[in-house]
């Protein structure tokens, strides 16, 4: 028995008012040849209590990272999100609203998103931010197609972009899918052995439509060379920088050193990992990209009484107006998750962001100290700076090591062999504000045990 339908049992009454006698009359326009015969071969309806019991059983069989000691990051991070955020987003007025097509009754979400735009703009050092894309990978992909729209006319390398060779294959795959329709050529930007961008490779990218790099990069390295890139590239090549937003409590905002577009996985600000979604993608840019950028934007305006009011603006870029000439097909986005981000940013304030960044980086620094002193374990980028994760090279495969750590209740990190075919022994270990010193000790102790064991068998 379904309990969500207020008019169940009242069908006859309502049909009679319409001069009909059967529900079937409502489907008289559906030709018999396409009618589904018989009931749906699906299970019977369940009550709320049965559903929640099944959910607890099924989801309870997943290993929640909080039950273990975890060093798994690689793009998504377990940062603490204050309780007020979860309480406030259950307000039905936020939760159950939709795209604010009627601004007069949507001022709350519109203002909250205008504030979100401001918070992101300040965070990354660029004047314009939209109110979210799906995730970091789609934000990267949309930034790349956007920079081609803006620059290809004046570019000497037309329809060409350079993407960091370290970009994880899954993210690169999204970029390729978004770029292939516009026939954008993707070339690789090289990195040095220490993980930093190869500046002579960057010189090759001058005259292209744009360059995509990450800070910290996918192997955790903070690249002190990025501030030199814009001058190398010149004004007609966009510098696109993807960030881990919390790192910007310590690390220079890319807008300050010439980034034209900043994107990133917003998740660490405001959202649990949630299996990888829903999360939100950050997209911010400078003035020249404004009219060709993707996604929804809120503007401050006035109402007929001259009172401050907010509404969606620059909609002529979007699919519902511009159709096949739109800057993107995006319609539904990740507003609610962006709202969680705004709430988290508000509570942190500038000092709170700094402290949060310090906690992440301090855990990483301690991790680096402890793991680098283990015999048989080598840090290939030891001389570089790291924000919250770094690579360790193991005396055996990362997959073997992870299996061992799993057997002792540790989620040990990310096997970089899944990204880089020639690196079977590279493990990416991540640290957040939720990482305790004793957990790092535990990881170090077990790595030491495992590494010693490799030595014996080798």
Partner 1 sequence: MSHLFDHHGAPGQGYAQPAPVLPASSIVLPDSLVRKSAPRWPRISEPEMVRHYTWLSKRNFGIDTGFYPLGSCTMKHNPRVNEVIAQLPGIADIHPHQPEHHLQGLLSIYHEMQHMLEIVAGMDQVTLQPVAGAQGEFTAVRCVQEYFRLRGEDQRTKVIVPDSAHGTNPASAAMCGFEIVEIPSRVDGRIDLDALRAVADETTAVMMITNPNTLGLFEADILEASAIVHGVGGQMYYDGANFNAIIGITSPGLMGFDAVHFNLHKTFSQPHGGGGPGSGPIGVKAHLADFLPGPIVKKRPIMGDEAKHAIDDMWFGWYEPTHSIGKVQQWHGNAGAIIRCWAYYRRYGNGLTTMSQHAVLNANYLRHVLHREAELAGVSDMIVDGAETDVAKHEFTISLGPAKEKHGISAMDVAKGLLDMGYMAPTVYFPLVVPECMMIEPTETESKETLDTFAKDFAIVLQVDAETLHAAPITTPVRRVDEVYAARNLCLRHPYDDD
By CB under 8 A, what part of segment 311-370 binds partner 1? Answer: 311-314, 318-326, 328-337, 339, 343, 345-356, 358-359, 361-363, 365-366
Question: What is the closest distance, in whole angstroms, from the C-beta atom of residue 414 to partner 1 in the complex?
Answer: 6
Enumerate residues 381-410 that contact partner 1 by CB under 8 A. 385, 402, 406
Applying CB under 8 A, among 310, 404, 426, 450 the residue interacting with partner 1 is 310
In the complex, least distance from residue 316 CB atom to partner 1, rounded to whole angstroms: 8
Q: Looking at beta carbons only, is 347 or 452 nearer to partner 1? A: 347
Region of 156-164, 173-181, 193-201, 230-238 interacting with partner 1 (CB under 8 A): 173-181
CB-based contact 258:239 (threshold 8 Å): yes
> CA geometry: angle at 318 spanning 313 and 320, to 5°?
105
> Which distant-in-sequence residues (6+ apart) come within 8 Å of 128 by Cβ?
117, 121, 284, 285, 286, 287, 289, 290, 293, 297
Where do we find the tokens 């060093």? 71
Among 92-100, 153-161, 203-211, 373-381, which window interacts with partner 1 (CB under 8 A)?
92-100
> Residue 48 CB, nearest distance to partner 1 (Å)?
5
Cβ 455 to partner 1 shortest distance, Å: 26
Does position 156 bind partner 1 by CB under 8 A? no
Whether the upstream peptide bond of residue 184 has omega within 30° of 0, thus cis, is no
Figure out which of the listed residues 214, 260, 389, 433 binds partner 1, where binding follows CB under 8 A.
433
The residues in 255-294 that bind partner 1, with binding defined as CB under 8 A, are 256, 272-279
234 binds partner 1 (CB under 8 A): no
Residue labelled with tokens 């004004």: 235
DSSP characters over 120-143: HHHHHT-SEE-S-BSSHHHHHHHH
Which residue, 233 or 265, is less far from partner 1 as judged by CB? 265
Min dist. Cβ of residue 81 to partner 1 (A):
10
Minimum CB distance to partner 1 smaller for 236 or for 370 = 370
300 binds partner 1 (CB under 8 A): yes
Residue with smaller CB distance to partner 1, 188 or 309: 309
76 part of the interface to partner 1, by CB under 8 A: yes
SS3 state of residue 238: strand
For the chain, how far is it from start to end, CA to CA, in angstroms?
Answer: 64
Whole-number Å distance between alpha carbons of 432 and 436: 9
Reference 261, options 148, 110, 388, 119; nearest CA is: 148
Q: Is 154 in the site for partner 1 (CB under 8 A)?
A: no
Closer residue to partner 1 in complex, CB, 234/276: 276
Query: x/- string (CB under 8 A) for partner 1, residues 177-196?
Result: xx-xxxx-------------
DSSP notation for 49-67: HHHHHHHHHHHHTS--GGG
Q: Is 379 in the site for partner 1 (CB under 8 A)?
A: no
Which one, 59 or 456, has the nearer CB to partner 1?
59
Residue 273 tokens read as: 């990992």
Measured CA to CA in angstroms, residue 323 lies from 3, 320, 333 at distances of 40, 6, 17
E strand or H helix at 400, and its extent? helix 398-407
- Residue 68, classified by CB atoms within 10 Å of its CB into exposed (0-12), middle (13-18) or buried (19+), is middle
Residue that is written with structure tokens 């690579």 in the block: 391
Q: Is 214 in the site for partner 1 (CB under 8 A)?
A: no
d(CA 417, CA 396): 12
79 binds partner 1 (CB under 8 A): no
- Tell me, rounded to whole angstroms, the distance of Cα 84 from its chain centroid: 22
Shortest distance in whole angstroms from residue 445 CB to partner 1: 16
227 makes contact with partner 1 (CB under 8 A): yes
Pattern 17-56, binding to partner 1, x per CB under 8 A? Answer: xx----x-xxxxxxx-xxxx--xxxxxxxx-x-xxx-xxx
Nearer CB in complex with partner 1: 36/458: 36
Phi, psi of 281 (to 5 degrees): -100, 135
Asked whether 310 and 298 are in contact (CB, 8 A), the reply is yes
Cβ atoms of residues 225 and 233 within 8 Å: no
Interface with partner 1 (CB under 8 A), residue from 151, 160, 168, 209: 168
Pick the binder of partner 1 from 253, 262, 371, 443 (CB under 8 A).
253
Report the residue from 88, 186, 188, 442 that binds partner 1 according to the rule CB under 8 A. 88
């Amino acid at each position: 028995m379904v309990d969500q339908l207020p008019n169940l049992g009242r069908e006859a009454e309502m049909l009679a008012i319409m001069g009909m006698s059967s529900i079937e009359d409502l489907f008289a326009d559906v030709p018999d040849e396409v009618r589904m015969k018989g009931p749906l071969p699906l299970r019977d309806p369940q009550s709320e209590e049965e559903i929640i019991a099944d959910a607890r059983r099924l989801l309870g069989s997943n290993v929640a990272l909080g039950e273990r000691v975890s060093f798994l990051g690689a793009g998504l991070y377990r940062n603490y999100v204050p309780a007020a955020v979860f309480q406030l987003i259950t307000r039905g007025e936020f939760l159950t609203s939709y795209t604010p097509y009627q601004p007069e009754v949507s001022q709350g979400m519109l203002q909250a998103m205008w504030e979100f735009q401001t918070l992101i703009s300040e965070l990354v050092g660029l004047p314009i931010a939209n109110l979210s894309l799906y995730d970091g990978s789609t934000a990267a992909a949309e930034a790349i197609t956007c920079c081609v729209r803006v620059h290809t006319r004046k570019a000497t390398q037309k329809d060409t972009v350079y993407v960091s060779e370290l970009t994880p294959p899954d993210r690169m795959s999204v970029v390729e899918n978004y770029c292939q329709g516009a026939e954008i050529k993707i070339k690789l930007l090289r990195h040095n052995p220490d993980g930093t961008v190869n500046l002579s490779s960057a010189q090759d990218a001058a005259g292209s439509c744009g360059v995509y790099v990450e800070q910290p990069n996918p192997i955790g390295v903070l690249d002190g060379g990025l501030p030199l890139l814009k001058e190398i590239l010149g004004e007609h090549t966009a510098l696109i920088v993807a960030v881990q937003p919390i790192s910007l409590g310590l690390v220079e905002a890319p807008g300050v050193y010439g980034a034209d577009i900043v994107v990133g996985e917003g998740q660490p600000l405001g959202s649990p990992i949630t299996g990888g979604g829903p999360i939100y993608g950050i997209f911010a840019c400078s003035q020249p990209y404004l009219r060709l950028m993707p996604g929804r934007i809120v503007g401050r305006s006035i109402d007929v009484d001259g009172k401050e009011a907010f509404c969606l603006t620059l909609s002529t870029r979007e699919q519902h107006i511009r159709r096949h000439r739109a800057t993107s097909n995006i319609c539904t986005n990740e507003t609610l998750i962006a709202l969680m981000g705004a709430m988290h940013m508000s509570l942190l304030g500038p000092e709170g962001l700094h402290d949060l960044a310090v906690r992440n980086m301090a855990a990483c620094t301690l991790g680096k100290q402890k793991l680098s002193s283990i015999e048989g374990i080598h840090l290939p980028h030891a001389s570089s700076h790291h924000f919250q994760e770094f690579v360790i090279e193991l005396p055996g495969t990362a997959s073997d090591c992870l299996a061992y750590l799993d057997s002792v209740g540790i989620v040990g990190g990310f096997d970089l062999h899944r990204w880089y075919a020639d690196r079977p022994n590279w493990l990416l270990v991540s640290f957040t504000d939720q990482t305790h010193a004793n957990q790092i000790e535990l990881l170090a102790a077990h790595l030491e045990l495992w590494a010693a064991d490799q030595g014996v068998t080798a």
